[in-house]
Amino acid sequence: MKDSSLHLEVYFPAAAANVNTGTLDLQVDVAGFSDNWRAGRLKLTVPALPANSDNTKTITVDLQDSGDGGVTFANTQPRIQATIPGVTTNGSPAYAGAGTIDMPLPPDLRGPIQLQVAVPAGAGNSTALLLQADWASE
Strand partners, 36: none
The total of structural domains in the chain comes to: 1
pTM of the model: 0.90
Query: Quick one: pLDDT band at residue 1, thresholds 50, 70, 90?
Result: very low
What is the overall mean pLDDT for the chain? 88
> Which is nearest to 22 in space by CA: 32, 11, 36?
11
- Give the 3-state DSSP-derived string for 4-70, with helices as H, strands as E and coil as C: HHHEEEEECCCCCEEEECCCECCCCCCCCCCCCCCCEEEEEEECCECCCCCCCCEEEEEEEECCCCC
Higher pLDDT among residues 31 and 60, named by residue: 60
| Averaged pLDDT for residues 120-134 | 94
User: Domain of 85?
Assistant: 4-137
What secondary structure letter does DSSP report for 137?
E
- Do 4 and 22 touch, CB atoms closer than 8 A? no
The SS3 assignment for 85 reads: strand
Rounded average pLDDT over 13-39:
81
Q: What is the pLDDT of residues 65-111, one digit of tens each?
A: 998 989 999 999 999 999 999 999 889 888 755 568 999 988 888 88
What CATH number did the domain enclosing 83 receive? 2.60.120.1110
Phi and psi at residue 32, to the nearest 5°: 85, 0
Q: How high is the pLDDT of residue 96?
A: 54
Residues 6+ apart with CB under 8 A from 138: 39, 40, 41
